[in-house]
Amino acid sequence: MTSTDDSGEAVVYDLDPDCTLEDVEEGNYYHATVNGVVDYGVFVDLSDSVSGLAHESNYDGSYEVDDDLVVKLTEIRENGDLSFEPAEIEDYETVEVGHDYDIADAGELSDAVGETVHLEGEVVQIKQTGGPTIFHVSDETGVIPCAAFEEAGVRAYPEVEIDDVIRVTGQVDERDNALQVEVDSLDVLTDGDAENVRERLATALEERAEPHEVEPLVEWPALTQMFPDLQEVAKQLRRTVLESRPIRVRHHADGDGMCASIPVQYALERFIQETHQDPEAKRHLFKRLPSKAPFYEMEDVTRDLNFALEDQARHGQKLPLLLMLDNGSTAEDVPAYKNLAHYDIPVVVVDHHHPDPEAVEPYVDAHVNPYLYDEDYRITTGMMCVELARMIWPDITEELRHVPAVAGLCDRSKADAMTDYVELAESEGYEESFLRSIGEALDYEAHWLKYDAGRNLINDVLNVGNQDGDERHRELVNFLAETAESEVEDQLDAAMPHVEHERLDSDANLYRIDVENHAHRFTYPAPGKTTGEIHDRKVQQTGEPVITIGYGPDFAVLRSDGVRLDIPEMVSELNEEVVGGGVSGGGHLVVGSIKFVPGMREEVLDALVEKMADAEIDEALQSTTVGHEQND
């Protein structure tokens, strides 16, 4: 730098607040501000960290704090002290001086504790505590909390908003075994500076969001053809974590639903830990929420939306992405989706229920379902989600090899690939009978947990992320499975004498039971599971086509073996034909549940039986009943 330009006019430099001693030279003129007055002179600031003394012998008159003036830098001493003298210059050109930053990486600060660093990134969360304001800043390498203090409980830098691009200077500190930056200065970048950072971050985010390439656990073309869609979901979930947008998982509260959600939870939490310095990020950015119904109920969406808006207001979080697992594909989900459509809440669905794509897809960002590939429910959601989890975080593969077999056995998949999945699990020390016990234990715990995710307990039962070894796992599963089996036997002892039988015109066997009045209530098994157990017993006893209806005041649970039913289509027809019945419901082709108004129960059930009597017998369907809704 020189003190004159090419025309000989004086140059006065105006330093950026972040400029340091490296940005100044002796003999140059600078814009300065008085920050203190003493008997022997005045102290002046050129930037936040560049200041010095103008001795009283070098000027006439007087100055006050906050006065602006032009000074000449006369000396830089070896100890870093600066000496100035005020300058009277009539004609000059002001030249702004920026600071060349060495920008640190948010995800690589572990070796910089105690050092001052500069960061550039996007604000992804702003949380006001009783002390400092915490700005969570995301760059190409991760997310770091930056603590800025104005005064206790008062918002620092109130002009900063989520999605702003900022430059932070501060000291790296370690608090509660986690890193954060204590903010010295924070500036919002604008125009070209902001755009450059955004472009850099967008390129890096796109690269980091890419899912891992994984080989399928078993060779099964029916599932492998779905890998491109699953990879897109994995990419969207990884990108969501990198953007610090919370993920809320809604899954059916049964064995397959938990075999789907637990691996995805485990994978995403590992990815969150890798990318976020805040140890609480895992708790804030992911929540698993079981649903008793195999669709998204208005009660659930209302609670989810309320909590999301509260978290946004209280913790400065973005609105979440909703991940629907083992539900979310049917027209019954649409009213809840319409509720979410008023907000910025992306919806992603991975499910194997018979879908209503025309009704659902206007409201979802991604929809993976075997029926969309001319496959069916034999590809369970748990099987798909184990592969999805591996695409997100492949290091957990060893812990997941048995999970697809559990998912298939829980949902009684008759896919040819079940043999390969069971053999894979057996190679890991899980014999088939024990896999079935795991499924029974999952159903049993889900019943008593109700709307609680039961995170640690369910992980122990499924043996994913279990830190205490196989011995306790086996003891726990055997205890729960034996208890569940005993309670099922007690239930059937009470219910079986009340099962009514008739032979339909198609020669199929129809069994009915009033599970409200002829089975124990508010205990295990629930009406859906009770109906399924009765159905299985009748199939084994008769060896013939069987339909079973378990009904209560305003619901019916349906099971079929050897009869070609289309339960979603039947529900749609009943809703139109039984005027005032208020019929709704759905499920798979041969298993489902319906609801209706209590006063129309007889009309609805009679019309339902007529449709079942007209259904075609199909021996190929014999023993393909799935147990997906047995927790209803």
Looking at residue 121, which CATH number applies to its domain?
2.40.50.140
What CATH number is attached to the domain comprising 371? 3.90.1640.30
pLDDT surpassing 60 at residue 175: yes
The answer as to whether 363 is a domain residue is yes
- Are 166 and 265 part of one and the same domain? no
DSSP β-ladder status, 51-55 and 133-138: unpaired
Which residues, other chains included, contact 154 with Cβ-Cβ below 8 Å and sequence gap of 6+? none
The answer as to whether 251 is a domain residue is yes
Q: HEC states along 312-331? A: HHHHCCCCCEEEEECCCCCH
User: What pTM was estimated for this model as a whole?
Assistant: 0.80
- Are 199 and 215 part of one and the same domain? no
The answer as to whether 282 is a domain residue is yes
- Are 582 and 469 part of one and the same domain? no
pLDDT of residue 245: 93
Domain termination residue (choose one: 97, 128, 148): 97
12-25 core/surface letters (b: 16 or more CB in 10 A; e: else): bbebeebbeeebbe
Q: Which domain holds residue 550?
A: 499-621
Estimate the share of the chain in helix, then strand, then coil, as percent rounded to the nearest 5: 40, 25, 35
pLDDT digits over 396-452, tens only? 999 999 999 999 999 889 899 999 999 999 999 999 999 999 999 999 999 999 888
The answer as to whether 403 is a domain residue is yes
- Are 504 and 523 part of one and the same domain? yes
Q: Which of 149, 180, 186 lies closest to 167, judged by CA?
A: 186
- Residue pair 554/497 in contact (Cβ under 8 Å)? The answer is no
Confidence of residue 192 (pLDDT cuts 50, 70, 90): confident
Domain termination residue (choose one: 49, 66, 97): 97
pLDDT of residue 626: 41
Taking residues 222-233, report their average pLDDT: 97
Domain termination residue (choose one: 206, 226, 248): 206
- DSSP for 207-237, written as a single string: HHHPPPP---SS--HHHHTTHHHHHHHHHHH
- Sequence letter at residue 534: I
Query: SS3 for 576?
Result: helix
Which range has highest mean pLDDT (316-320, 468-472, 559-563, 607-611)? 607-611
Taking residues 235-257, report their average pLDDT: 94
pLDDT surpassing 80 at residue 632: no
pLDDT digits over 109-127, tens only? 988 899 889 999 999 999 9
- What tokens were used for 7? 């025309």
Average pLDDT of the chain? 90
Burial class (CB in 10 A: 0-12, 13-18, 19+), 223: buried
- Are 346 and 472 part of one and the same domain? yes
pLDDT digits over 490-549, tens only? 999 999 999 999 999 889 999 999 999 999 988 999 999 999 999 999 999 999 999 999
- Are 508 and 588 part of one and the same domain? yes
- Residue pair 348/364 in contact (Cβ under 8 Å)? The answer is yes
Query: SS3 for 480?
Result: helix
> What stretch of H or E contains 529?
helix 527-542
- Are 180 and 274 part of one and the same domain? no
- Residue pair 9/91 in contact (Cβ under 8 Å)? The answer is yes
- Are 162 and 251 part of one and the same domain? no
Whole-Å CA distances, 280 to 144, 208, 441:
12, 22, 31
Taking residues 262-286, report their average pLDDT: 91
- Are 303 and 420 part of one and the same domain? yes
The answer as to whether 315 is a domain residue is yes
Taking residues 278-292, report their average pLDDT: 88
The answer as to whether 51 is a domain residue is yes
Q: Which of 33, 30, 55 lies closest to 44, judged by CA?
A: 33
- Sequence letter at residue 603: E
- Are 304 and 347 part of one and the same domain? yes
What dihedral do alpha carbons 182, 183, 184, 185 form, nearest 10°? 170
CA distance 453 to 456: 9
The answer as to whether 87 is a domain residue is yes
336-349 core/surface letters (b: 16 or more CB in 10 A; e: else): bbebbeeeebbbbb
Other beta carbons within 10 angstroms of residue 161's beta carbon come to 11
pLDDT digits over 316-344, tens only? 888 999 999 999 998 889 999 999 999 99
- Are 182 and 260 part of one and the same domain? no
- Are 138 and 175 part of one and the same domain? yes
The answer as to whether 468 is a domain residue is yes
Q: Which of 190, 179, 171, 176 lies closest to 136, judged by CA?
A: 179
What CATH number is attached to the domain comprising 549? 3.10.310.40
Confidence of residue 16 (pLDDT cuts 50, 70, 90): confident
Q: Based on the structure, what is the number of domains in the chain?
A: 4
